[in-house]
Chain A
Amino acid sequence: MSPDADREHGSFERANFERFARGESIPVEVGEIERELGALWKRASSTGDTHAGAAISRAALWNLVIPARGAGALAKTKALVDEIAQGVPVRAITLCLDDSGELNAGAAAGGGLSATIESNVVSQPGGARVVYSEEITLRGPAGAETHFGALVRALQIPGVPTAALWMDAAMPAALLTRELLPVTDRLIVDTGSCARPPHLYDLQRLAAHAHPMPVADLGWLRLGSLRLLFAGLFDPPVGGAPLRRATRLSVRHRPRGDLSALLVVAWLGQILGWRPLRSAQTSDGGLRFDFARGDGARGDVEPDIEAFLVPAEGACDASGVLAIELAVDGRDDYVVCRTAIDQASVQLPIAPAKAVKLDSYSDAELCVAALGPRGRDPLFAKCLAYAGGLWALEPQTTGSQR
C-alpha cells in the first residue's frame, strides 16, 4: 500500500472506530463481520480508552439471536437490544427479513445480504463509559432466511450459550425449528403481547419441539408480579387451607389479554389439582370453565369450582390481566386488583384492603430475566400444557351468569 493509501486506510479505520465507540452502526461485508469486529476491538484495546478515560471491555454472556420481519420490527428489535445490553452483555445477532427491500434497496435488488456491526455502550456510575457488547445485524430479501442459519452458526461466540428470541410470528417458522433451535440453548417467546389463545397449539408444539431446552415466556414473566402478590395472600398467617375450599375464580383481563388470563387460570388449576370439566362462552364475551377438585367429591356434573375469564377495561401493563379474585366457601374473597399500571389493591378476609406497589417490567428487563434463572421455570411448560387443555375443551354455547 502506498503511503497515501496507507494514510487513507488509517483514517477510515479511525473514523469507523470512533463510530463504533459511539454505538453507531457500521456497514461491513457479510463475510468479514468477525474480522472487522476483531480489528475494532483490537484497536480499542490498543488505544486503551474511548471516552472519559475509561478502559473498555468486550463481554458477552449470551449469543442472542432475534429474527424480525420488516423495517418496523427491526427498529423495535434494535431498540430492545440496546436496552437488554444495559442489563446483560450479549452478542446480539439480529436477522431481518426485508421482503419489501425498504431497508437496503441495493442489497435486496442484488438478491444478497447486507450486514452492520455496532457496539452497545453502557454508562457506569461516575460518568465512566465502558463498551460492553456488540450487535450484528443481517438483512436480506425474501428467501434470505435460508442463509441465516449458517451465518448464525458462524457468528456464535464459542463457549457462550445461545438464546433465540422469537417474538415475530411473521417470520418463517422453519428458520426457528430447522436452523436456530439446533444451535440454541434457550428459546424465549412472548405469549403476552404476541399471541392469542388460538396460538396455544403452535406454542405447545414449539415447546415440545424445543424440549428439553428451557422455554421462557415474557408473558409468563410479566404475570410474575401479580402471581407473587396473589401467592402472598396465602402466606402465614392465612396459609394454604382456603385454597382447598375455593369455589369461584374470576380473572379480569383486557380484551387482548385473554391468553395471559388463561395462563393464570392454568397456574391455579395446575397447582391446586383442579380437573377441567367443561367450558362455555359467557354473555359478555368471556369464558367460563368448570372444574372438579382433585378429590372429586362432587363428581363431574356439579362443578366444585367455576372460573371466569372476564373481558374488562382498565389501566394495565402488557400482561393484560387486571384482577385475580378467588372466592372461598362462596363468601370470603381473596383479591389482587390492579388500580393503576404499577399499583394494586390486595384484599383478604383477615386484614383491611391495602394498596401496594405492583412491579412493572419493560420488555428488555423481562428478556434479561428470561436469560437468567427465571427463564428456566418448569412450571411454565406445565401451565402452557394445562392452558392448552382448557382451550381444547369444546365450549358450550349457552350463556352463563357470573
Chain B
Amino acid sequence: MKTLSEEAPLLPNPLREGLVEERIPEPAAMVIFGASGDLTRRKLLPALYSLTRDRLLPARFAVLGFGRAALTDEAFREEMRRGCEEFARRRPVDPALWAGFARNVFYQQGAYDDPAAFLRLKARLEEIEHTLGLPGNRVFYLSTPPSTFAPVIRSLGHANLAPKPAPGQPFSRVIIEKPFGIDLQTARALNTEVHDILAEQQIYRIDHYLGKETVQNLLVFRFANGIFEPLWNNHFVDHVQITGSETVGVEARGGYFEQAGSLRDMVQNHLLQVLSLAAMEPPVAFEADAVRDEKLKVLKALRFIPESDFEHQVVRAQYAAGSIGGKTVPGYRSEPDVSPRSTTETFVALKLFIDSWRWAGVPFYLRSGKRMPKRVTEIAIQFKEAPHLLFGKRGETIRPNVLSIRIQPDEGIALNFGSKLPGPAMEIAPVSMEFRYGSSFGVEPPEAYERLLLDCLLGDGTLFTRADEVEASWSWVSRIHQRWAAEVAAGRTTLDTYPAGSWGPEAADRMLTADGRAWRLP
C-alpha cells in the first residue's frame, strides 16, 4: 500500500465537476460531544441517518460519540438505532442501510475537562480515520451544557484536534449549540475564548430555526420574486407580527429555564434571527458573509426601548394553571425545579422598531410563550389599507391583507385578501391563497438539523450565526434584562400571569389595542 506523501502535491479533484449539485461533502468524521444526551438520540443521529438514506453523505463517513456515560460502541449504536426508529424523518429504519451506517458509528467515554480524555479521543479518531481511509476532515458538535463550551474548545486546542485552516489541509469545524452566552458580557467572553483556538470560519453557531425550509424560503420568496420586494417597506407594510408559541411547559428543564426565561430561550436567538431575515436588505450574493452582513445591520438598527416606553413595549408573564389539549396542567411555579416565587418569564411580548430607511415607523410585534393553545411559529406581514375605500361603507368589515409565513408546523405561506362573495350584493369576505410544502411538493421538507449538518460538512455557514450577530442581539436583549433586574432590585416586578392554554396576558393584548391593532390568531 502506498503512503500519502507519494501523492503530493494535492491537486483539486476535477471529477467533482458536474457533481456539485449533489451537494455531497468530502469524506469526514463527526465527533459529537454529549453523545449520550437527548439531542444526539432525538435529532443528530436521526438527521445523519436520514441524510444517509437520501444519499447525501459521502460513502466514507464516520460518527464518533463522546460522552461521560460508559458505553460500548455496540450499546451506543443500539441506543442510536432506537432513536432513529422513533425520530428519523425517513422511517421505518431500513435494516440493511442501518447496518452499513452503524458500522461507522463509534463511542468514546471521557470527561469534557480531562486533557487525557482528549488525547485518547485523538488517538481513537486517528485510528478510525486510518481504517476508513478518511482524509482527516472533522466536524466537532458541542451538544453539551453551555458551561462546557469553553473547556471543550480549549481541550480541542490543547490536543491539536482542530487546527486553524490552512490551504490544502483537511478541515476542522466546530458546531456550537445555543445558548451562546447568557448576556452580552458572557457572549463576548465566550467569543474571545473560542477565537483563541478557532478561526471564525471554523465556528458554526447553530440555531435550528434557520434550518427550517420556510426560513430559507423567506429569502427565495423575497429575493427571487419580483412582486413582493417592492411592497416590503414602510410605504405598504402597516406592521409585522412574529409569533413563536409552544404548548409544552418547561417539562424536565425547570432548572435550566429558571435561569433562561423566554427572552433568552426564544427571542434572543430564534425570533431575532427570523426577524433579521424578514427585515434585511437584499444581500449582494447568496453567500454566508453577504447574508450575515445584512442580518447584522438589522440587529444593529434595533432601537433600544426607551425607559419612558418600556412598560408599553415590553410585556412579560408566567403561565398559571390551565388546560391544554383537554388536560389540566399546572402553573409554572408548580413545575419541578422551579421556585414558588420565581420571576422568570414564560411569555414575552415586545414592540420594537428598526431604525432604517425601509422600516422607519413600522412596528414589529414579537411574542413567544410556553403553554399556549398551539405550537406555531409564523411571521405575519400586515399591509396598509387601500388609500380610498370604495367598499365597506355599509358597515361590513374589510380586513387588511396579511401575508403569513408559517415556519412550523405545516410550513408554508398564505396571503389573505378580500373577495366579493358570489351573488348580486357587494359583500366582501376574506379569502386565503395558500401554499403548503406538504401539498405542493408532495413531500415533507427535511428536518432542520439535516440541512444544517449537511451545510456544515459542506462548509456553508449561511444558515449559522456569526460572532458579531450574536453580540448584536445580546446587546439589544441585555438592556431588557438589566431593566427587569432593576425592577426586581427595587421590589416592583411587572410580571403578569396568563392561564395555560391562552394566548398570553391581557397586557399583551393592550399593547396592540393601544395602537389600534390586534394579535393574529395563528
Contacts and interface: CB of A to CB of B under 8 A. Distances in A.
B386 interface: no
A239 B15 contact: no
A377 B21 CA distance: 9
Choose among A61, A228, A230, A354 the residue with the greatest number of B CB atoms under 10 Å from its CB. Answer: A228
A31 to B, nearest CB: 27
Contacts of B7: 237-239, 241-242, 350
A61 B18 CA distance: 25
Contact of B440 (A59, A122, A125): A59
B282 interface: no
Contact of B441 (A88, A227, A356, A373): A88
A354 B438 CA distance: 39
Contacts of A143: none
Q: What range describes how many residues of B lie at the interface?
A: 35 or more
A373 B21 contact: yes
A379 B17 contact: yes
Interface in A232-251: 232, 234-244
A241 B135 CA distance: 16
Interface in A119-167: 122, 124-125, 130, 132-133
Interface residues of A, number: 52
Choose among A242, A346, A351 the residue with the greatest number of B CB atoms under 10 Å from its CB. Answer: A351
Interface stretch (B55-63, B345-353, B415-423): B55-63
Contacts of B14: 234, 240, 243, 271-272
Contacts of B96: 357
B299 to A, nearest CB: 33
A43 interface: no
B11 interface: yes
B67 interface: no
Interface in B90-110: 91, 96-97, 100
A231 B13 contact: yes
Nearest to A234: B13
Interface stretch (B22-30, B181-189, B269-277): B22-30
Nearest to A336: B59
Interface string B40-73: 0000000000000001001110000000000000
B10 A59 contact: no
A59 B336 CA distance: 47
A231 B7 CA distance: 16
Given A231-B15, A240-B11, A346 B59 contact: yes
Contacts of B17: 271, 379
Interface in B392-416: none
A228 B27 contact: no
B226 interface: no
B444 to A, nearest CB: 8
A231 B16 CA distance: 6
B363 interface: no
A241 B10 contact: yes
B89 to A, nearest CB: 9
B59 A356 contact: yes
Contacts of B15: 227, 230-231, 234, 240, 243, 268, 271
A229 interface: yes
B13 A59 contact: no
Interface in B421-444: 436, 438-444
Nearest to A230: B15
Interface string B339-367: 00000000000000000000000000000
A88 B442 contact: yes
25 contacts: A57-B436, A57-B438, A59-B440, A59-B442, A88-B443, A89-B441, A89-B442, A122-B442, A132-B439, A133-B442, A227-B15, A228-B19, A228-B59, A232-B59, A234-B13, A237-B10, A237-B136, A240-B13, A241-B11, A242-B7, A332-B2, A349-B1, A350-B2, A354-B60, A377-B18
